[in-house]
Chain A
């Protein structure tokens, strides 16, 4: 079974703090993704990566950065946390297949509260 793990289930931070969210997958997947989920808005893509050291902006990259130094690990960084970044953060991974026919596998999520 594919396993995607995230470093924390719950996190409380103060405005202005630097926040690191880590995601690790054990299936040698090329693609990794960070989403945030807010009520009524579904999942929105923040950043994704299709290879080590490669990253692409998603729909809402402002206020976030990412790092992928190893294939299995994809980190999301909030340089200076703000209250509007309070949300559920979900990491996903998928294999690289032609024709876009890959299935995404999700981690358990991190509920971040910024005070």
Chain B
């Protein structure tokens, strides 16, 4: 099956810093999503981005489908950005989303 690798596994940031999270995948995809899981366990969908670039406030994401990677940018980080960020991909029109292992982000005041 498709392999999904996220890096780094852990990230500690000071409030106000910028960061980049990466998701590499081993096959062509037509569905790629980024999720944020808050410290209470709730997963929130951040972006549906199988290709191109999107922005939502301080977060933005870019997927370069031909090179099989996606990047999530966090700018001016806040303590509420803490949690685990997951990348999930699907390699075909109807199949299962495959999740990466996640990046644990801690933003300190």
Output the nearest chain A residue to B35 by Cβ-Cβ distance.
A106
The interface size bin for chain A is 20 to 34
Task: Determine whether the beta carbon of A108 is less than 8 Å from that of B40.
Answer: yes
Output the nearest chain B residue to A41 by Cβ-Cβ distance.
B101
Tell me how far the C-beta of B88 lies from the nearest C-beta in chain A, rounded to whole angstroms. 8
Output the nearest chain B residue to A50 by Cβ-Cβ distance.
B94
Listed stretches B14-22, B41-49, B52-60, B66-74; interface member: B41-49
Given the known interface contacts A42-B101, A43-B99, the answer about A100 and B43 at a Cβ–Cβ threshold of 8 Å is no
Task: Determine whether the beta carbon of A106 is less than 8 Å from that of B42.
Answer: yes
Given the known interface contacts A42-B99, A58-B96, the answer about A100 and B90 at a Cβ–Cβ threshold of 8 Å is yes
Tell me how far the C-beta of B51 lies from the nearest C-beta in chain A, rounded to whole angstroms. 12
Decide yes or no whether A45 CB sits under 8 A from chain B. Answer: yes
Task: Determine whether the beta carbon of A48 is less than 8 Å from that of B96.
Answer: yes
Decide yes or no whether B83 CB sits under 8 A from chain A. Answer: no
Task: Determine whether the beta carbon of A108 is less than 8 Å from that of B92.
Answer: no
Output the nearest chain A residue to B94 by Cβ-Cβ distance.
A100
Q: Which of A38-83 contact B (CB under 8 A)?
A: 40-45, 48, 58-59
Which B positions have Cβ atoms within 8 angstroms of A?
4, 30-31, 33, 35, 40-45, 48, 50, 86, 88, 90, 92-97, 99-102
